[in-house]
Amino acid sequence: MNLTEVTVKYPRGATIFAACCASIFCVLGVIGNLVTILALTRCPKLRIHATTAFVLSLCISDLIFCLVNLPLTASRYINEAWTFGDALCQLFPVLFYGNVAVSVLNMVAITLNRYVLISCYQYYSWLYSKISIWVQLIFIWGVAFLLMLPPLLGIWGQLGLNPSTFSCTILQKDGKSPKKIIFLIGFALPCTVIIIAYSCIYYSVRKSRKKLKSHQPLPDKRITKREKDDRRLTKLMAIIFICILLCFLPLMIVNVFDDNDPKYPVLHILASVLTWASSVINPFIYAASNRQYRSAYSKLFRIVKSSVAFSDSKQGSRASKEKIGSVTLKPSGASS
């Protein structure tokens, strides 16, 4: 098929905007996720925490997404065509939807980890042993990519190019496609679990605070600290809720209700851009919001800073020696 004969549904201004966003998110996402991975893996105290394993898994998934999917996405929006061949067109949606699903499922794992830690602590050591953590990580990555197996094999739907949107995605085969089911299972259900779990965490924390306060009146300073902790927790919950809804809900809605023949192409681009943004903001939400993780960032930056300073001083010392060695000594008695 001659792609130039196909009517492109996206306005040129929207495709340029999408290409710019994909390029910016690619750079910021690679830097942010790579720094987070280095910072957390270099800290022995954090490596033993179960939450760290899921945060690292989330960052690795987002790093792959930023390194592979976003550059290809930027290129197709700039060219308004897919120029990388059929094989990569088959692989692209597997990596795209698979990595997004891995990110969402890792968020679920982080949320459930916090819920068990706060509300069901008696089961924590059993649920988050080393073996259990590896089983959960394998399950997360396995389920995320197994969802893409039916269309990849052509059993239910198929993977290929939609010429009007120049996107490599899940297409219908014999009038059937698993795309809506994948979005409902891979995104709607996990997001619902996250919201319910965080609501339970917040309710549990508030309940324990009130119970402690009624049985053991606290001094004014301790009450103030508790109230600050509650406000901080409320703020963090609100940020997580808003980010999850903003990043993933629009993409699910447009792909479920306006998929086969998009009537609102600009909304599809905006929904996609919001989903890409999640790969950039995730390190800040789940890592930078933790005091211990911020300390790991600081240690990494101090190491980098000291390494750069040492390198500069070494080069300066070498340059000084070369300068001294190149000076010609004048014989005594010579006039100046």
For residue 203, with 0-12 CB atoms within 10 Å meaning exposed, 13-18 middle and 19 or more buried, which class applies?
A: exposed
- Whole-number Å distance between alpha carbons of 194 and 163: 36
198-243: pLDDT as tens digits: 888 878 777 777 776 666 655 555 555 656 665 666 666 677 778 8
Highest mean pLDDT among 142-151, 160-169, 241-250 belongs to 142-151
Which pLDDT score is estimated for 317?
A: 62
**Apex CA 82: angle with CA 77 and CA 83, to 5°?**
115
Contact yes or no for 81/3 (Cβ under 8 A): yes
42-89: pLDDT as tens digits: 887 777 888 889 989 999 999 999 999 999 999 999 998 899 988 999
Amino acid at 333: G
Query: What is the average pLDDT score of the chain?
Result: 80
Q: What is the mean pLDDT of residues 28-34?
A: 91
Q: What is the pTM of this model?
A: 0.79
Domains of the chain: 3-293 (1.20.1070.10)
- Position 143 pLDDT exceeds 50: yes
Which pLDDT score is estimated for 44?
A: 78
Give the CA diameter of the chain. 101
Alpha helices in the chain (DSSP H): 12-41, 44-47, 50-64, 70-79, 85-119, 124-127, 130-146, 149-153, 179-183, 189-215, 220-257, 265-286, 291-325
* Residue 9 or 223, more confident: 9
